[in-house]
Amino acid sequence: MKTKKLLGIWMDHSIAHSMEFKNNMIVSETIEADSFIRDDEGINWKDESLIRNKEQIDLSNYFEKLVGVIKDFDEVLLFGPTEAKTELFNQIDNIHNLDMIKITMKTTDKMTENQRQAYVREFFTVQGKTSKSIKNKSFFFF
């Protein structure tokens, strides 16, 4: 029987902490969004449409980095305090070769590294042991 590859990602719009859960251990990696505007770019700060366009391009690149990580896993927990997880899910949902990945989204507060790792460990440990009826009440699955 193949062991499922499990990944938790705590994220907001600027940084993601990916945590692979394997053999009851957590392997972490940090993925940062590119700064959407650098001072040396000579941006006209009054051109709001240009700024928004640059922000969208950089956010899309950030999500592409995350999709590159997620594609190798069977189950993924996206969690964090902002709507970034929903935006990422919507991007993943449009990529048909990722349809088989089980993705769960949970809203949480900001967390320390130890809190994030404990949350991922508990989520995947409890998820593996709970009955279907408890899962349906406790988690939002897509």
Give the H/E segment covering residue 122. helix 113-129
Strand partners, 107: 80
pLDDT digit string (tens) for 58-107? 899 999 999 999 999 999 999 999 999 999 999 898 888 888 999 999 99
CATH of the domain at 26: 3.30.420.60
The structure tokens 């394997």 sit at: 22
SS3 113: helix
Please give the pLDDT value at position 51.
74
Mean pLDDT of 95-122: 94
Is residue 134's pLDDT more than 50? no
pLDDT digit string (tens) for 31-70? 999 875 555 555 555 677 877 888 888 899 999 999 999 9
SS3 77: strand
Q: Does 26 reside within a domain?
A: yes
How many domains are there within the chain?
1
Q: Does 1 reside within a domain?
A: no
Range of the domain at 12: 6-138
Q: Does 79 reside within a domain?
A: yes
Q: Are 82 and 102 in contact (CB under 8 A)?
A: no
Q: Are 9 and 19 in contact (CB under 8 A)?
A: yes
